[in-house]
Amino acid sequence: MKLEEILKSKKPVLIDFYSADCSPCLVMEEVLVNVRNQFGNRCEIYTIDLLKHPKVFDLFKVQSVPHFKLFKNGKPRWSGSGLFNKDELILQIEKYL
């Protein structure tokens, strides 16, 4: 599935921009597992690796990792950089369910 199609989903779509050599990004992996478990199929969560897809980082103007962007119906709804706990991410996603 292409990124454009993913972002146009009627469900909230959370994109995790990360790098495998980023310690905070690795911490967020467990948080995202918990968030996925909370929402099941009501929300889509994707991870994009800086080293594998640098052009995507440029396209979305991501300057630091970890960075998160939330979309619904093709429109950006929220973004944030740094460490977040499960409850903070859940709160942002629930606004668009």
DSSP conformation letters of 24-82:
HHHHHHHHHHHHHHHHGGGSEEEEEETTT-HHHHHHTT--SSSEEEEEETTEEEEEEES
Which one of the listed residues 3, 6, 22, 90 is annotated catalytic?
Answer: 22
Question: Domain-by-domain residue ranges, the chain?
Answer: 3-94
Residue 93 in this model has a pLDDT that exceeds 70: yes
Say what percent of the chain tops pLDDT 70.
Answer: 99
Active site residue 43: no
Active site residue 22: yes
pTM surpassing 0.75? yes
Average of per-residue pLDDT values in the chain = 95
Q: What is the CATH number of domain 3-94?
A: 3.40.30.10
Average pLDDT over residues 5-28: 95
pLDDT in tens, 43-65: 999 999 999 999 999 999 999 99
CA 42 to chain centre: 14
Which one of the listed residues 13, 14, 25, 89 is annotated catalytic?
Answer: 25
